[in-house]
């Protein structure tokens, strides 16, 4: 039996975490890894992780990944050296857009 899904649900659902400008995002992530991926015809290093909780709600099959150099620099002191399977609680605030994007990242 198939479940009826509305278009509103289909359009708003995603298997990825989305960071909105000027809105703090609280995540609990685990299975953190550095992976080489191809984007826009060139190889980049991306942080990939599974999301356990997003803004206080448990989630299933959701991932957080980024190849943003600025965000990776902010995440590094928090996740470097930790067991990749350990749950890490982070809050991310994205400010600005395009080439003027800045991030504030904290462990909570």
Which tens digits make up the pLDDT trace of 44-96? 999 999 999 999 999 888 999 999 999 999 999 999 999 999 999 999 999 99
**Residue 82: DSSP 8-state:** S
Give the closest residue to 74 by CA, choosing from 66, 82, 62. Answer: 66
Domain spans, the chain = 16-107
Across the range 29-45, mean pLDDT stands at: 92
Q: Is 72 in contact with 22 (CB distance < 8 Å)? A: no
Q: Is 92 in contact with 21 (CB distance < 8 Å)? A: no
Bridge partners of 53, per DSSP, are 28, 58
Q: Is the pTM of this model over 0.95?
A: no
| 8-12, Cβ contacts within 8 angstroms, sequence gap of 24 or more | none
């Amino acid at each position: 039996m198939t479940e009826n899904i509305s278009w509103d649900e289909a359009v708003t659902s995603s298997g990825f975490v989305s960071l909105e400008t000027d809105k703090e995002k609280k995540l609990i992530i685990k299975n953190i890894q550095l992976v080489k991926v191809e984007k826009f015809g060139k190889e980049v290093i991306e942080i990939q992780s599974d999301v356990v909780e997003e803004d206080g709600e448990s989630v299933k099959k959701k991932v957080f990944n980024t190849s943003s150099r600025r965000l990776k620099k902010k995440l590094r002191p928090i996740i470097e050296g930790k067991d990749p399977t350990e749950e890490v609680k982070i809050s991310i605030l994205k400010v600005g857009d395009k080439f003027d994007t800045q991030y504030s990242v904290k462990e909570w």
